[in-house]
Structure formats: C-alpha cells, structure tokens
Amino acid sequence: MSQDGFEGDTQEFSGFDPYGFQEQKLTDEQIRLNTEANQRLLNADFQWFLNDQAGRRILWWLLANAGTNRSCFHTTAMMMARLEGQRDQGLMLMSKVMEVDPSKYTLMLNEATEDDRNSK
C-alpha cells in the first residue's frame, strides 16, 4: 500500500481532469474572434430591429421608460440609485443604436414626435 492509502499505480491518473478544464481553455485569439463575431451578430440584429417601424416604437418606449432624458434625482438615496440604474440601461441601448445606425435614432425621434401629435 502506498503512503497516501491507495493501492496500485496512481501514475495513470496524474493528468486526469474530471471537469475538463484543460479542454475548456481558449486562447486569447479564440476569445477575441468569438467576441467580434458576437458583436457583428448583435449589430446585425439591432439593424434588423431598427429597420422595422414597430421595432423602433418598442425601442422608443424602452428608452422613454428608462428615463434617458430626465433627471434621476430623488430625495431617497435608494430610489435615486434605482432610477439611475434604469437610466444607465437606457443609455446603453441608445449607445448601441448610435453605434449601429445613428440615422435611425433621428427617424425614431421624428416618428415618436409625430405619434405624440396624432394622439392629442
């Protein structure tokens, strides 16, 4: 019996990785390529969404509810933190729109203004 209490040859298990962590390691280049491919796909999806009037209406609704164009000041610190978090998510969406196709933001703004005029 060996010193660690096991019988037999334990050499065959010295490189054993039961969770496969060694196989999961990606090179920096593979990670970069995956990230770039995902960004291209996300940008294409946003472009598709922005090309549809209903998609722009939904996005405008999300931006308005996030409070991107209003102050997040509140007398309660927790409420102000919540409002700032919502606003941050809206700014993230707006940033993606501006990255993908800034002209669609202008179109979306004009459509929302026209919808507001028609609803009054």
30 domain residue, yes or no: no
For residue 80 the two structure tokens come to 């102000």
Number of domains, the chain: 1
6 domain residue, yes or no: no
C-alpha distance from residue 69 to each of 3, 22, 57, 65, 92 (Å): 70, 48, 16, 10, 13
20 domain residue, yes or no: no
| Residue-number span of the structural domain to which 79 is assigned | 39-114
55 domain residue, yes or no: yes
Q: For residue 11, what is the DSSP state?
A: G
53 domain residue, yes or no: yes
Q: Which pLDDT does position 12 carry in this prediction?
A: 59
- Over residues 51-108, the pLDDT tens digits come to 999 999 999 999 999 999 999 999 999 999 999 999 999 999 999 999 999 999 999 9
81 domain residue, yes or no: yes
- Over residues 14-62, the pLDDT tens digits come to 666 677 666 667 777 888 888 999 999 999 999 999 999 999 999 999 9
What does residue 52 show for φ and ψ, rounded to 5 degrees? -105, 135
25 domain residue, yes or no: no
Q: Which pLDDT does position 117 carry in this prediction?
A: 84
27 domain residue, yes or no: no
